[in-house]
Homo-oligomer: A and B are copies of this chain.
Amino acid sequence: MQPFKWDAERKMRTGIAEAVYCSGKTVSQIEAILVFHLKQKTAVLLTRLTEATWQQIDSALCEIIDYDAASNTAIYQPNKDKNDTLQQGVLIVAAGTSDMALAQEAARTLNFNGFSAPIISDVGVAGLWRLMDNLEEIRQYALVIAVAGMEGALFSVLAGLIHAPVIALPSAVGYGVSADGQAALQSALASCSPGIVTVNIGNGFGAAVAAIKMMNMQENEQEVSKS
C-alpha cells in the first residue's frame, strides 16, 4: 500500500504540480515517494531536504537525482530536454550573500517549472548605490522576488522604484530582534510603498510558486462581462 496520497491533479487544478515538503518526513517515507516517481517517470521537486537526511537516502536513488545542498532541494526531471528554453520575466534580488540559500530555493523551483530565474545579489540598502547601479536592469523584468533579512528595508525602497510587483521573501538572517526573520516580515507587511506582497519567512518555494501563478495569469484569463 502506498503510504501517501499523491495529488496528481493539483497541476490541473492550480497550475502547479505538487512538491514534496521533506521536513518531518522519515528517510523511508522520502524514498518511497522517490521510487513512486521513478517508476512513473514523473518529475518531482523536493524541498527542505537537509544534507543530513540526503546522506541517509539509498545511494542508488541519489545518483539519479539532482540534489543541491545550498538550497536543500532535490529535483528529478526525467523528460527534461536540455534544449528547452526557460520562460523569461522573473528576477530574484537578494540583499546579502547570507540570503543566497533562500534565493536558490526560489530559483530552483522556478527552473523546475520552466522559468528562468536570474539572481542579482548584494544590493542591501546600506549601500544604496549597489541597488541603483542595477536599477535599469531590474526594471526590465515583469516581476521581482526580493529576499532580505535583518530590517528588510530593501522591500520598500525597491517597490518605490519599479513598475513590477514585488514579492517579499523575508529571511531569518540577523540576531537579537531580527533573529527569526520577524523584523523583515513586518517591514514587508507595514511598508509605506504600496504594491508589496509577502510570503512566510524562509518560504522560497512559495515565493516561486506565487511568481509562476502571476506569470501564468494571461493564459488563464478569460472573458468576463460583469461590471
Contacts and interface: CB of A to CB of B under 8 A. Distances in A.
Contacts of A7: 126-127, 130
A118 to B, nearest CB: 5
Interface stretch (A35-43, A50-58, A169-177): A169-177
A34 to B, nearest CB: 14
B193 A126 contact: yes
A194 B16 contact: yes
B150 A190 contact: yes
A210 B195 contact: yes
A143 interface: yes
Contact of A200 (B99, B167, B178, B200): B178
Contacts of A116: 224, 226-227
A122 B194 contact: no
B124 A192 contact: yes
Contact of A221 (B128, B129, B142): B142
A205 B176 CA distance: 13
Contact of A165 (B159, B187, B192, B217): B217
Contact of A127 (B10, B86, B155, B184): B10
